[in-house]
Amino acid sequence: MLQIFSKRVWIFLALGLCIALNIALSPAAAQGPGTPLLEKPTPPEEKAAEQKEAAPCTCGPLISDSCLPIETGHASLQVLWALSFYPGAFSPNWRNTSAHGNFYTFSMPIKITYGPTKNLEMYIIVPYIHNWAGKVDAGLAGPNGETSANYGGVGDITAVGKYLLLEETALRPAVTGVAGVGFPSGHASNLNPRFLGQDGIGTGAFTFTTGVNLFKWLKPFMIYSNIWLNTPINLYASRDDAVRSREFVTFNLAAEYPITKRWVALLEMYSTWTWTNIDTPQGFQSPSTLLGVLPGIEFFINEKWACSAGAALDLVGKAGSRKYTPLFTVYYNF
């Protein structure tokens, strides 16, 4: 009985060896679509990485800052065009008031981004700004009765670095630390009364920014958030005609929804929250407290070119201007 059992074992072993050799020596193309390939076992950590689905590629928010740094050694260029219409202003007690004239602002910030090393991104923003005023109320006219004016030039240049502190997990969002400075390159002092305030295209301060950016993919939505503290050092605080800035907090939220591989829907909430500091003189302040929304759409032309469009709508605010701003931006990835 034992001999019969041993013979059967050897027969099965020989048959299995023949089948294995036949499969190993056969070309992969000969195996049908339903036939699995024989492979070495995948280590558990590699298998988990393969099973982790990557978030879709998008342009990112229009106003809010993205979180995940650009890839090492890569660079991108973004040019944005925006035209703001001012139907009114916000009073110190959060009410809508008249703009007392027709006011417009065209802005064209150029953003250059580079990834010098892993998890680190650096970018610089150089904005061109042009203001117009027309049909200004007689009570706000210039010294020679001017009721219209315009002024343009380079605004404040901003340089920012951000570093990925925590990667995204199943429960935790990705967290990026942000540090930057705004340079007072825009015109903010020696304002000429005949320009009706339109020549104030800078903050007149070194503005230091620290904070965090967050990102979480809650399939199918991609959620972003910015929480920044902005601390200006006013250079012309003693001048009555100068632009002066208060310390303020930036809090933004954004969500993207991929419609197709090329089209992505976007919705943002942007806000700045300003308070009165002991060392900040009263007067013309920038920025004011503000909250608004931006619906938008993104489109991928190809792997290097993409564009986004939207409209920023100021909803509520305190002691500042109220505006509606259509935006269009183009991205190029090097």
Cα–Cα distance measured from residue 226 to residue 88, given in angstroms and rounded to the nearest whole number: 27
Tell me the pTM. Answer: 0.81
Question: What CATH number is given to the structural domain containing 119?
Answer: 2.40.128.130
Residue 132 lies in a domain: yes
The amino acid occupying position 270 is Y
pLDDT given at position 28: 32
pLDDT-derived band at 23 (thresholds 50, 70, 90) equals very low
Is residue 44 in some structural domain?
A: no
Q: Taking 80 as the threshold, does the pLDDT of residue 280 lie above it?
A: no
CB atoms inside a 10 Å sphere around CB 234 = 22
State how far the Cα of 80 lies from the Cα of 61, in Å rounded to an integer. 12
Domain count, the chain: 1
**Which residues are CB-neighbours of 193 under 8 A, at least 6 positions away?**
142, 143, 241
Contact 248, 277 (CB under 8 A): no
Note down the domain range covering 101.
61-333
| pLDDT on residue 251 | 98
**How many helices (H) does the chain have, and how many strands (E)?**
2, 14
pLDDT at 26: 35
- For residue 192, what are the CA distances in angstroms to 63, 150, 198, 201? 31, 11, 9, 12
How far is the C-alpha of 10 from the C-alpha of 19, rounded, in Å? 14
Kindly state whether residue 183 falls inside one of the protein's structural domains: yes
> 272 lies in a domain?
yes
277 pLDDT band, cuts 50/70/90, is low
145: in domain: yes
Residue 54 pLDDT class (50, 70, 90 cuts): confident
pLDDT digits (tens, 9 = 90+) for 285-319: 667 899 999 999 999 999 899 999 999 999 999 98
Residue 13 covered by a domain: no
- Tell me the chain's radius of gyration from C-alpha atoms: 29
- HEC string of 93-144 equals CCCEEECCCEEEEEEEEEEEEEEEECCEEEEEEEEEEEEEEECCCHHHCCCC
The dihedral region occupied by 190, where left means phi > 0, alpha psi between -120 and 50, and beta the remainder, is left
Mean pLDDT of the chain: 84
Report angle CA 303, 307, 308 to the nearest 5 degrees: 140
- Give the pLDDT score at 38: 33
In Å, the largest CA–CA distance within the chain is: 121
As a whole number, mean pLDDT of residues 212-236 equals: 95
Q: Flag the least confident range among 41-55, 155-169, 304-318.
A: 41-55
In a domain, 43, yes or no: no
Residue 195 lies in a domain: yes
Say if residue 27's pLDDT is above 50. Answer: no
